[in-house]
Structure 1
Amino acid sequence: MRIGLYPGTFDPITLGHIDIIRRACMLVDRLVIGVAINRDKGPLFTLEERLAMVQDECAYLSDKTGTEIVAHPFENLLIDCAQDVGASLIIRGLRAVADFEYEFQMVGMNRKLNDKVETVFLMADAQHQAIASKLVKEIGRLGGDISHFVTPPVREAVLEKFRKA
């Protein structure tokens, strides 16, 4: 069984993330969505909310592709998380050349730590290249329309967070 790990904070999960997840399902039998516990970023959503959002948004993809998709929290090194979940592939989405520089460094470091885990880059679809969770939150906070960047349930969750704030 080929297991892939797609890590991120998913705060919130966007259409760009979902596009990468859909395409990653063609490469693996089981896709673990590693939801990072990153206290430094000060996420809008709690870990539990992000895990639930990922599971909810990916349920139809799992049914459609036949790939098992699970959300998994992690706070350790990415390469250790890959080992914990039995992943032989780390899947990363690239939006622009600027992403590649950082990712290139990460691959080199991860290969030194464990050369049995490969990293696969998937280019974001052209219509999703500008989408970043950080920008989605900013647009939502300022009352802009985020419906082009997230699914309706995620849109409502984001707007609800800002209504309560």
Structure 2
Amino acid sequence: MLAIYPGSFDPITLGHLDVIERGVKMFEQVVVAVLYNPEKKAVFSVEKRIEQIRWCTQHLPNVEVDSFVGLTVEYAKLRQANVLLRGLRVLSDFEKELQMAHTNKTLWSGIETVFLATNKEYSFLSSSVVKEIARFGGSVTHLVPENVASDLHLYYS
């Protein structure tokens, strides 16, 4: 079974990587799908985010990295995937993600959402937090893969 793990991943964090590594144990293949959202000002281009994710998931043979524009359910249909993989950190994530799962189900009855609770050491972690720390010169090496930490350091120097 194929699962889609959609997100902006700007940048990918160790929390995201944790969900990917656990997801590949549950599904035959996981597609990490980078959403291009023209409404958001991203630090890294979609191409750079794909490169970063490929680098830090190269040890996982059943992971593919791709990008898409538009509705996640339309991308899932295109890929013939019936499962969306999502990570949950805190209660507010659950409320937002549950609403999104219900909305996706109204758009396509063939889609299911599987939620994975992030490990507690990543419960505070978000891409926004990482960018904030990096912007002010703090170390993010304990929050993101090493290639991403290097890219952030270059971006903010």
Distance in 2 between residues matched to 1:50 and 1:139, nearest whole Å: 19
AA matched with 2:48? E
Paired residue secondary structure (1:7): strand
AA matched with 1:81? Y
| Alignment match, 1:91 | 85
Deviation at 1:115, TM superposition (A): 1.4
Deviation at 1:60, TM superposition (A): 0.9
Q: Which has the higher helix share?
A: 1
Distance in 2 between residues matched to 1:102 and 1:124, nearest whole Å: 15
Unaligned runs of 5+ in 1: 63-67
| Alignment match, 2:47 | 48
Residue 147 (structure 2) aligned to one of 124, 139, 153: 153
| Alignment match, 2:56 | 57
Aligned residue pairs: how many? 157
Deviation at 1:161, TM superposition (A): 0.8
Percent same amino acid among aligned pairs?
A: 34
Using structure 2 for the length normalisation, give the TM-score: 0.97
Is the 1:32–1:85 contact (alpha carbons within 8 Å) kept by the matching residues of 2? no
Using structure 1 for the length normalisation, give the TM-score: 0.92
Deviation at 1:127, TM superposition (A): 0.4
Greater than 3 Å deviation, 4+ residue runs = none
Equivalent positions of 1:76-155 (< 5 A) are: 76-155=70-149
Distance in 2 between residues matched to 1:9 and 1:109, nearest whole Å: 19
Unaligned runs of 5+ in 2: none
